[in-house]
Structure 1
């Protein structure tokens, strides 16, 4: 597992708690949805509870698309896959 990469995340718009991001990764969605994967994004992008992340994942970074909703509890991020 390579883990979260700030360069793979883009803020599309919004305000904290209502932000929309895209994230592209060659990792599998099962690895991306592990608790703590997006912890660094709190500092990098002010990721907060209620923010939505559109994830393009897999070997080509386009094999699957999932919609994640973040929960930030004191800097510890969990995500729920809404796809």
Structure 2
């Protein structure tokens, strides 16, 4: 599958220090793949240092991961914290 803008919610913060929750049926490894959140850089101004709480997998409840984003020229990678 792929990133879906409607599945992401800004919880608070300022650019570079934002907190998001993302719920997806995609598995945790897919969500953590480089480029998965590229569109979120446009949709939500996802920047380096932003934090994403990802609820992933079956019923969006198989795994919960805390991820830190890095945005390099619009290519977003996340690292599990």
Q: Distance in 2 between matches of 1:31 and 1:47?
A: 18
Instruction: Give 1:32's aligned residue.
Output: 31
Which runs of 5 or more residues in structure 1 are unaligned?
A: none
Instruction: Give 2:11's aligned residue.
Output: 12
Q: Distance in 2 between matches of 1:56 and 1:29?
A: 8
As a proportion of its length, which structure holds more helix? Answer: 2
Which runs of 5 or more residues in structure 2 are unaligned?
A: none
| Structure 2 counterparts to residues 1-80 of structure 1, below 5 A | 2-80=1-79
Give CA-to-partner distance per residue, 1:39-79, whole Å, 9 cap, x none. 00010000000000000011110121100000000100000
- The alignment yields a C-alpha RMSD, in angstroms, of 0.5
Q: TM-score of the superposition, structure 2-length normalised? A: 0.98
Q: Which runs of 4+ in 1 moved over 3 A?
A: none
Deviation at 1:9, TM superposition (A): 0.1
Q: TM-score of the superposition, structure 1-length normalised? A: 0.96
**Count of residues in Structure 1 that have an aligned counterpart in Structure 2:** 81
